[in-house]
Structure 1
Amino acid sequence: MAISLYVHVPFCLQKCAYCNFVSYPLEEETARRYRDCLLKEMALCGEVLAPPERELATVYLGGGTPTCLPAGLLEDILEGLHRYFDWPLGIEATVEANPGTVDAAKLKMLREAGINRLSLGVQSCQDHHLDLLGRLHGFRQAVEAVLLARQVGFSNLNVDLIFALPGQTLPEWRRCLEEILALAPEHISAYSLEVEEGTPLARRIQGGGLAPCEEETELAMYLEAIAFLKENGYEHYEISNFARPGFRCRHNLAYWEHRPYLGLGPAAHSFLDRRRRANVCSLEEYCARLEAGELPAGEEEELSEEALMGEAMFLGLRLLEGVSLEGFARRFGKNPLEVFAPQIASLCRRGLLEISSGHLRLTSRGLPLANMVFREFILP
């Protein structure tokens, strides 16, 4: 069975104020060592994977900021993926990019190397909010990056946005949606700000220097995004994701549909043969292990049938169409309405879940409370 492949590129020009992902300041010598070790990991994985698992269903380079790497290192990584895995023509292949880290030459190289989808971290359309988030670009650079991507032939473009920022108003968010719509991306991801413990933004809020967005305003912004984007031709197909018809993110669908994937790079996660594995987070340990000829696996566990069923439920419920009752029964030989009878009955009574057209799905009331719903399906 073909797998989805994620590559974690753990470098940024500067860490954003809200970010708690594994990333390091870009230093070319360290980046070259990472490139060499990543190629070693590809080779080792190619040796242990069964031939069907070396065939790729989707490719996704994330981070960090993959496009902050010098073009030559990024090209080496892509060449390695082609060398060690079976990369069929036409599969969805995505690279995350930040405005200001791409130029025409780098984008052209990505297209020639098989990348056909670009995910731009725009985050906001107002420069004062970008400054608050610690972003290095302004909105003008984001517009220029979109134009460059179109010029070199990218016809599948995602824009990432964050809302519910400290001090952000509903009219500002509406204007941002309008400005993004003018850029005509095929896909839009709109996430509510998560204030992660230990980040500079969290410290400012905890110290009283910033007031977090009110819950009522956050909900209004979310509902505004749903209504506005649906009115303008986007399908709301996942809690935070909107796509023009035919442009749903196939890589992320693999996660939500609980299909197998392989993660390469420090802190990358894999899900293969009922086993979940996480690579070590430290870049130094990651490289040291690979230089010693070992895979850099950290935590690893084999999931029980109960855990697999729970994951299939809360991941599938992220999709607006929900969990197929027939598909679940075909996979596990059990009816999810019986396996999770108490949870489903309670959530339906509270108006958070509903059964429709053979699917169990979140209601419009349940969408903003999705995390509370998901917890009901996680094993204690």
Structure 2
Amino acid sequence: MAVTSAYIHIPFCRQICFYCDFNKFLIDRQPVDQYLDALEQEIRQANISEPLDSIYIGGGTPTALNEAQVKKMLDIVDRLVPLAEGAEYTVEVNPGEITMEKLAAMKNSGVNRLSIGVQSFETRLLEVIGRGHGRDDAVEAVKLAERAGFDNYSIDLMFGLPGQTMADFQASLDMAVSLNVPHISAYSLKIEEKTMFHNWYKQGRLTPFPEDTEADMYELLLDYGSRNGLYPYEISNLAAAGYESFHNCVYWKNEEYYGFGAGAHGYVDGMRYANIAPLTHYIKALEQGNTVVKEEMNVSSAEKMEEEMFLGLRMYAGVDKSRFKERYGMEYKEVFASTVPDLLENGLIEDDGEKVKLTPRGRLLGNEVFEKFLLEKDDAS
């Protein structure tokens, strides 16, 4: 399987959000330039020769870097990562940290898509989750992106937040409509370990959001999309036609990609890997010319088939049956013979002859459906 994409991790933030469990560090007094030098060395070691179809620079917060550091980051990609014509090149940006100079540098380097970390257009809720910006910053971020010439961009929105009401979420959706946003990635809050929210949950200071209300918010999101020209192409993502994220589809289609940076994950030559996460360890390893892989796992055929199903079913288009058979030499119904009949009978998946996909009810119970595609040890042998 050819590697067509690369993820590049910038682990620095101006402020740590209460819900975030990504590999990140407060940027103050951090060796940012040393990190970029190490990142350059890692990408150079990969010796990418074939043009890629997508690059995604995420974090952390890439725009936590100053203008000179942003330009240095982009220059590394320009020199070491060949891109195919028409490739998608995305950078995550944060409201309150975007400047026209940073955006101009991105535009000049071929960045053609932005992912804007709005999360909410309600200042009260942004404070609740520990974000460093307010409503006006979020609106201005979208307008700055457009003034800089970006028409392909996505905003992140969250629902199921502490104290959030249906009216709050509707207000954020209404604002997105008024700004003509072409893509929304909408996620419900998950209380992850090693976060402030998890600490508060253990202390009894944070109550999980009611599941029924969370489901109502998700239904509101889908209704919003249907009325405003944004269709759901994946469980958490809605886009206007032509604005779907190619890079994210690489993950959902179970295709291979490079992962560069501290704590980044990759999937190359049938091997999944995770880079060293601690910042100084990552930098030291690259300075010494060592591999930065701390863990790697050869993905078995059974595991690939599991992932093909529970990743592919996230997409509204579903899993292509002929592609599955071409990849693995078996029909999906043969591999998952103990699971598929019950899921079909209970109306959680549907099979139209070419694709197998989640039903609307199945999407609401997605995690339960995905678990059904984990093979027993005997089946996986």
Fold in common (TM above 0.5)? yes
> Are the equivalent residues in 2 in contact too, given 1:167–1:211 (CA < 8 A)?
no
The equivalent residue for 1:374 is 370
Conserved? CA contact 1:167–1:212, under 8 Å: no
Contact preservation (8 Å) 2:9, 2:58: yes
Q: 1:44 aligns to what?
A: 45
Whether contact under 8 Å (1:127, 1:139) holds in the other structure is yes
Name stretches of at least 5 consecutive residues in structure 2 with no aligned partner.
377-381
Which one-letter code corresponds to 2:141 in the other structure? A
In structure 1, the partner of 2:122 is 126
- Report the number of matched residues: 375
Deviation at 1:288, TM superposition (A): 1.0
Give yes or no for the alignment of 1:30 onto 2:31: yes
Offset at 1:284?
1.3
For residue 70 of structure 2, what is the aligned residue in structure 1?
A: 74
Name the aligned partner's letter for residue 272 of structure 1. V
Unaligned runs of 5+ in 1: none
- State the percentage of identical aligned residues: 40
Residue 303 of structure 2 corresponds to 307
1:157-200 CA deviation, whole Å, 9 max, x = no partner? Answer: 10000001111111221121111111111110000001112321
Q: CA 1:42 to 1:198, structure 2 compared with 1: closer, same or farther past 3 Å?
A: closer
Report runs of 4+ in structure 1 exceeding 6 Å deviation: none
SS in structure 2 at match of 1:262: strand
- The within-5 A match list for 1:129-168 is 129-168=125-164
Match for residue 320 of structure 1 among 306, 309, 316: 316
1:348 aligns with 2:344: yes
Structure 2 counterpart of 1:149, which letter?
A
Quote the residue 1:84 is aligned against: 80
Q: For residues 204 and 259 of structure 1, what CA distance do their matches in structure 2 show?
A: 37
Aligned to 1:187: 183
Question: Aligned-pair distance for 1:83?
Answer: 1.3
Paired amino acid for 1:306:
A
Structure 1: how far apart are the matches of 2:186 and 2:119? 8
Counterpart-to-counterpart distance in 1, 2:94 and 2:183: 16
- Say whether 1:11 aligns with 2:28: no
What is the rounded CA distance, in whole Å, between the counterparts of 2:79 and 2:190 in structure 1?
38
Tell me, in whole angstroms, the C-alpha distance in 2 between the residues paired with 1:101 and 1:368: 35
Alignment of 1:228-243 (within 5 A): 228-243=224-239
RMSD value, Cα? 1.3
Shift of 1:29: 5.1
Does the 8 Å CA contact 1:6/1:59 hold for their aligned counterparts? yes
Q: How far did residue 357 of structure 1 move?
A: 4.7
| Structure 2 residue 288 is the aligned partner of structure 1 residue 292 | yes
1:349 maps to a residue whose letter is E
TM-score, normalised on structure 2?
Answer: 0.95
